[in-house]
Each structure stands twice: as structure tokens, then as C-alpha cells.
Amino acid sequence: MDLISEGIKQKLIRLEDDEKYIVYLHQAKRRTNANPEEKVQAESFLSLVLIYKYPVKRIRQFVAVQMGSETKEADIIVYDDDALKSPFIVTECKKPDVSELEFRRAADQAVSYAVAEGARYVWSLANSDEYFEIPAKKPKDRIIIPDVPQFGVTELARFKYAVGGGTTKSGQKLFPLELVTQDELTRRFQQAHQALWGGGELNPSEAFDELDKLIFCKLWDERKLRKPGEAYDFRSSP
């Protein structure tokens, strides 16, 4: 799905001045579309509405969050009620080419916003996606999860992707593997290598060897015959 085109069609957003600006119509917010971070912001908002099926009236962008004596801004908060009193998901967006360290900081920031607002879930995204659940009781250490809940789903599956997609008994939509361009595949390999390299914790050749192992495991897993809706073995899970 082309999220931007569909968002325009469904009157969720509007592009103005030769696409220099994007307007989020539900909040009448006009933003500079040339900002690389804005594309991530727009697509995450549209994903929450068009794919995850949250009512647009339960979504707010650019939300002020009180952090001690400072006021910060959460990119997107999804609420669990129409009165917007019960934060449910906090989403933090960064531009696609951020470093691994910057992405880690963004995830930490999103978690701190969720704790401050009392939200249960976190979605941090830039060149990749990370999802967390925040426990209701202390200690509020984040729990890694494979996805955030879709609207109306009360029980998350232990995986996000399955052969051919499908739907779980709890109503969660599963995603099929996506085709990506050669450039995107190269970018993801570079990203994985940088994460393994860890800023110098491994030398580059050792990191490359570890990346080779991951690629081999993934290819081997995808060659295994599976029924539609069956999960892959080589995947992230909570």
C-alpha cells in the first residue's frame, strides 16, 4: 500500500505547495515535508490509521509531555479512549539515516515518554522498528515485543510475520514478508553490520563474519516449507 497516496485519498493528509508541506487534517497541523524525519512521521501516523485501524480521533501528534521541570514533545500518542485521557501507544520517529546510537537514544526517549504518560506500548522507528511493552507495576523495565497491538486486539501473537500473512484467533493481522529493492537490502545489511560492529566492540571483519551467519540462518529458514499463516523460526519474539 502506498500510504501517502491512500492517506490523501482518505483525507487524512494533504500535500501543499508542490509537496513542500504536509498537512495533518485531523489536527490542522502543517509541517515541512522536505524534512526526512517528517516522512517517517507521516507514514507511521498513516500506518496506525490505515493498517493498525486506530480511529483517527484517538491519535494525537506533537504532544507535550512533562518530564520533571522540562516539557518535551512526543511525536505520536495513541489513546485508548475517545476523551484522550488514557495514553496507550507512544510512537517516536527519527530520520531513516540515523546512527545505531541515535536510534538507541530515540528508543530510550520514547520509553521515558511512555512511563511519564502512563502508556502501555512504545513504537520507535527510523531505519528499523522496535516495539516495547511497559509493565504496569515497578520496575518498569521495557519488554521487547514483536509489534504493537492493532485496534481491538487484546492478545499479541509472538510473531509479526507469517507465510502469506493471515489473522490470529485474537484478530491480529499477520504480515507476509515484503519484497525490497536492492538499495534497501544493501542499506539493511549495512545497518545490521553497524549494529554488530557496535562502534568498535568488534573489529569490522568479525562483525562481517557474524552478519554472514545471520544471513545464512535467515535464508535457510525461508527455504523451509510451511503452511500459510505459519510463523518463521528465525525471528524476534518477546
**Type of residue at 52:** Y
For the beta carbon of residue 148, count every other beta carbon within 10 angstroms: 24
Name the pairing type of β-strands 143-145 and 87-93: unpaired
Residues 6 or more apart whose Cβ sits within 8 Å of residue 103: 94, 124, 126, 127, 128
Q: In the prediction, which pLDDT does 232 show?
A: 84
145: closest CA among 120, 178, 166? Answer: 120
The pLDDT assigned to 4 comes to 96
Order of all β-strands in the sheet with 59-67:
59-67, 70-79, 87-93, 121-125, 129-133, 143-145
Nearest CA to 192 among 210, 176, 178?
210
How crowded is residue 40: how many other Cβ atoms within 10 Å of its Cβ? 21
Q: Which residues of the chain have pLDDT under 50?
A: 237-238
For residue 13, the cross-strand partners are 24
Q: Going by DSSP bridges, is the β-strand pair 87-93/21-24 parallel, antiparallel, or unpaired?
A: unpaired
| Amino acid 199: pLDDT | 58
Domains and CATH numbers, the chain: 36-152 (3.90.1570.20), 158-238 (no CATH)
d(CA 65, CA 113): 7
- Amino acid 201: pLDDT: 67
- Longest CA pairwise span in the chain (Å): 56
pLDDT tens digits, 11-34:
999 999 999 999 999 999 999 998
Q: Give the pLDDT score at 36.
A: 87
Q: Are strands 121-125 and 87-93 parallel, antiparallel or unpaired?
A: parallel
CA distance 5 to 100: 30
Q: How far apart are CA 56 and CA 85, in angstroms?
A: 15
What is residue 103's predicted lDDT score, i.e. its pLDDT? 83
Q: What is the SS3 assignment for 15?
A: strand
User: What secondary structure does DSSP assign to 31-55, as a single string?
Assistant: EETTSHHHHHHHHHHHHHHHTS---
